[in-house]
Amino acid sequence: MIVLLFGPPGCGKGTQASFIARRYRIPAISTGELFRAECKAGTPLGKQSCSIMAQGGLVGDEIVNLMVVNRISQPDCPSGFVLDGYPRTKPQAEFFDGFLSEKGLPQPTVIHLEVRAETLVHRISTRRQCPTCLRIYNVLSQAPKTRDICDEDGAALIVRQDDTEAVIHQRLKAYEEITGPVITHYRGARYHRVNGDRSPEEVLREIARLLAPSPRWARRPRGIPALDGRSISMA
Q: Which residues are catalytic?
A: 13, 88, 127, 160, 171
pLDDT for the residue 178: 87
pLDDT at residue 217 tops 90 = no
Q: Rounded to the nearest 5 degrees, what angle is found at the Cα of 102, between the Cα atoms of 194 and 187?
A: 25
Count of domains forming the chain: 1
* pLDDT at residue 225 greater than cutoff 70: no
pLDDT in tens, 65-87: 999 999 999 999 999 999 998 99
Per-residue pLDDT tens digits for 144-203: 999 999 999 999 999 887 787 888 888 888 888 888 999 999 998 799 999 999 988 899
* Domain of residue 226, residue span: 2-233
Does the pLDDT at position 124 exceed 90? no
pLDDT higher for 132 or 108?
Answer: 108
State the pLDDT confidence band at 224, using cuts at 50, 70 and 90.
very low
pLDDT score of 18 more than 50:
yes
Give the CATH number, domain containing residue 127.
Answer: 3.40.50.300
Cβ atoms of 211 and 218 within 8 Å: the answer is: no
Q: How far apart are CA 194 and CA 185, in angstroms?
A: 17
Task: Check residue 211 and report its DSSP letter.
Answer: S
34 pLDDT tier (thresholds 50, 70, 90): confident
- Dihedral angle, C-alpha 32, 211, 81, 224, nearest 10 °: 80
